[in-house]
């Protein structure tokens, strides 16, 4: 017989048994804390890899504020032919894992450009979340400063199949961030797969279709999916924040791109509060914090790339 709350008021049950029953019932009811996320209509899929760990903590924490089921699909750098590799050198930190509802890590694959691992992360991530009606997907080095704006952003999707963060073109759709019906996303992934693997298929289509954005755009077009296009950001990689519908409503930012661009182009790096100090270079933190203390851009001159 199963336990119910009625057992706690049953005069036939001893006080000692009631105390033990309450402990068990409390554990059962803890499911209600996350069941709302598990049974909601929308899930979050973050795709990431070990080189993103400096930004992954903030990405997970800000997206967790959406109150949605959060899945992390993580690229596997653990080459079984290299026995010296330590899991601790490449896995997300424990406090990051504690905020994840589902974790997916495919088998190790040889590096064939970013498209290969991204495809497998997307394929297995989307399959894991297929019971959700909608999937919001982005990379694990993007953050959202304004999670409260997500309902307004989601409304823009309307009855369409997919909306990306932009910029979108006639032959390409940006993969930085997108919200889609899970059925449409599964169809997109299947289309990409049919034009991508095995290698003889890749050779047949690569000159015609190209990179991930080209493959997304081609799938949307060939499948006849309805797409919503929004005001685009400053650039394809979100290197400079401050423009676009996703930035306006979500505060959508690409920390990794901002860091690299500011270093190479004498710009202002993202705030240190966004960076996981365990995985950020000490020299980067030194100058970022010095700038935050002084508000003097000249202190970054010794940090900027010299060539």
Q: Answer yes or no: is 29 within a domain.
A: no
Q: Answer yes or no: is 3 within a domain.
A: no
Tell me: do 157 and 108 sit in the same domain: yes
Residue 190: which CATH number?
A: 3.90.550.10
Q: Is the pLDDT of residue 194 over 80?
A: yes
Write out the DSSP string of 153-169: HHHTTTT-SEEESS--B
Neighbouring CB atoms inside 10 A of 173's CB total 27
Q: Answer yes or no: is 19 within a domain.
A: no
Over residues 128-173, the pLDDT tens digits come to 999 999 999 999 999 999 999 999 999 999 999 999 999 998 889 9
What pLDDT is attached to residue 111?
Answer: 66
Q: Answer yes or no: is 74 within a domain.
A: yes
Cα–Cα separations (whole angstroms), residue 62 to 99, 110, 226, 252, 286: 10, 31, 29, 10, 24
Domain of residue 161: give its range.
40-253
77 against 4, higher pLDDT: 4
Tell me: do 125 and 272 sit in the same domain: no
* Cis? peptide before 36, omega within 30° of 0: no
Tell me: do 197 and 93 sit in the same domain: yes
H or E stretch at 69: strand 69-74
Tell me: do 140 and 206 sit in the same domain: yes
Q: Is the pLDDT of residue 276 over 70?
A: yes
Q: Answer yes or no: is 8 within a domain.
A: no
Over residues 204-240, the pLDDT tens digits come to 998 988 889 999 999 999 999 999 999 999 998 999 9
Task: Pick the last residue of a domain from 238, 253, 268.
Answer: 253
Tell me: do 178 and 295 sit in the same domain: no
Tell me: do 136 and 280 sit in the same domain: no
Tell me: do 58 and 135 sit in the same domain: yes
Over residues 57-86, the pLDDT tens digits come to 999 999 999 999 999 999 987 777 878 878
Cα–Cα separations (whole angstroms), residue 231 to 146, 247, 282, 306: 17, 10, 37, 35
Domain count, the chain: 2
HSE of 148 in the Cβ direction (CA atoms, 13 Å)?
Answer: 0
Q: Is the pLDDT of residue 202 over 80?
A: yes
Tell me: do 178 and 296 sit in the same domain: no
Q: Answer yes or no: is 1 within a domain.
A: no
Q: Answer yes or no: is 33 within a domain.
A: no
Task: Pick the last residue of a domain from 215, 235, 253.
Answer: 253
Tell me: do 224 and 285 sit in the same domain: no
What pLDDT is attached to residue 89?
Answer: 83
Q: Answer yes or no: is 9 within a domain.
A: no
Task: Pick the last residue of a domain from 215, 230, 253.
Answer: 253
What pLDDT is attached to residue 283?
Answer: 94
Q: Is the pLDDT of residue 1 over 70?
A: no
Tell me: do 279 and 229 sit in the same domain: no
Tell me: do 110 and 69 sit in the same domain: yes
Any idea how long the chain is? 307
Q: In sequence order, what are the residues at sequence separation of 6 or more whose Cβ sits closer than 8 angstroms to the Cβ of residue 185? A: 126, 135, 137, 162
- Percent of the chain scoring above 70 in pLDDT: 99
Tell me: do 98 and 245 sit in the same domain: yes
């Amino acid at each position: 017989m199963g336990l119910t709350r009625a057992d706690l008021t049953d005069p036939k049950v001893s006080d000692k048994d009631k105390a033990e029953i309450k402990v068990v019932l409390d554990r059962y009811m803890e499911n209600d804390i996350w069941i709302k996320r598990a049974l909601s209509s929308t899930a979050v899929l973050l795709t990431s890899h070990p080189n993103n760990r400096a930004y992954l903590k903030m990405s997970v924490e800000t997206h967790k504020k959406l109150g949605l089921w959060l899945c992390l699909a993580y690229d596997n750098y653990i080459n079984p032919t290299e026995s010296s590799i330590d899991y601790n050198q490449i896995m997300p930190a424990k406090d990051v894992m504690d905020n994840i509802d589902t974790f997916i890590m495919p088998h190790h694959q040889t590096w064939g450009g970013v498209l290969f691992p991204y495809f497998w992360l997307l394929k297995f991530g989307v399959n894991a979340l297929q019971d959700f009606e909608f999937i919001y997907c982005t990379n694990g080095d993007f953050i959202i400063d304004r999670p409260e704006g997500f309902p307004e952003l989601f409304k823009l999707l309307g009855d369409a199949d997919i909306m990306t963060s932009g910029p979108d073109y006639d032959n390409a759709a940006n993969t930085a961030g997108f919200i889609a019906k899970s059925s449409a996303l599964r169809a997109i992934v299947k289309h990409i797969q049919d034009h991508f693997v095995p290698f003889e298929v890749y050779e047949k289509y690569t000159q015609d279709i190209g990179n991930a954005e080209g493959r997304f755009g081609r799938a949307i077009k060939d499948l006849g999916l309805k797409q919503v296009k929004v005001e685009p950001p400053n650039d394809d990689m979100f290197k400079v924040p401050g423009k676009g519908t996703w930035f306006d409503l979500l505060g959508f930012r690409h920390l990794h791109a901002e860091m690299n661009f500011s270093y190479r182009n004498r710009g202002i790096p993202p705030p240190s509060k966004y960076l996981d100090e365990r995985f950020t270079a000490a020299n980067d933190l030194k100058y970022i914090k010095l700038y935050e203390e002084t508000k003097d851009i000249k202190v970054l001159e010794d940090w900027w790339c010299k060539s």
